Amino acid sequence: MRPTVLLSILLPLFLAGAVANPVRAQEPDPQATPSDNEVNRIAKNLYCPVCENVPLDVCGTLACIQWREQIREKLTLGWSDEQIYAFFQEQYGDRALAQPPARGLNLLVYIAPPVLILGAGYLLLHALRGWRQPETEAASTGNQAASQSDDEYISRLEEELRKRE
């Protein structure tokens, strides 16, 4: 075979392989183990079953290590984030979730803060108005009392002067 014929056959094959390989490398491998970042993305929204108020992604207890491995297994099997959260909620209850669902008693977590803030704002506004009104009333009653005491003093003074005359 002549070198030009061989080159004309091998060059297109080589170029096709060079272009196709990067595309194939970008496809996810279904058998690949999920990375720690993928596991922690889900684990940060779950809480440790042993420690109080410690997110699963930063807790070092044996239970948390096992939970993170369960998350890794579920991700390997192709479970979605919502399916994993539902699994842990079913197994351990709402306390396992970082954001409890808005139903039942948990609904208070979503309703109480805005209601309390609005109520406190109303009370503060009402108190400020109440503090402002007595100042004007006190000033007017204070002026009347001062003028009354002045009148009494003047009348007593005039009375004493009349006695001396």
Encode pLDDT of 94-112 as tens digits: 778 877 776 777 677 778 8
Angle between helices 81-92 and 62-76 (to 10 degrees): 140
Is the pLDDT score of 155 beyond 70? yes
**Measured distance CA(49)–CA(55) in Å, rounded:** 10
* 22-31, 56-65, 108-117: least confident range: 22-31
Structure tokens that stand for 50 in this block:
């042993």
* 67-76, 98-107, 139-148, 154-163: least confident range: 139-148
pLDDT tens digits along 72-91:
999 999 999 899 988 988 88
Structure tokens that stand for 2 in this block:
């002549």
**Measured distance CA(27)–CA(48) in Å, rounded:** 34
Of the pLDDT bands very low, low, confident and very high (cuts 50, 70, 90), residue 25 is very low
**Measured distance CA(143)–CA(138) in Å, rounded:** 8
Among 2.60.120.680, 1.10.3720.10, 1.10.10.10, 1.10.8.640, name the CATH number for the domain at 25-101: 1.10.8.640
Q: Is 78 left (phi over 0), alpha (psi -120 to 50) or beta?
A: left
pLDDT confidence of residue 72: 92
Q: Model-level pTM?
A: 0.48
pLDDT confidence of residue 83: 92
pLDDT confidence of residue 117: 92
Of the pLDDT bands very low, low, confident and very high (cuts 50, 70, 90), residue 49 is confident
Amino acid (one-letter) located at 149: S
Mean pLDDT confidence for 7-21: 67
Domain ranges (residues) in the chain:
25-101, 105-165
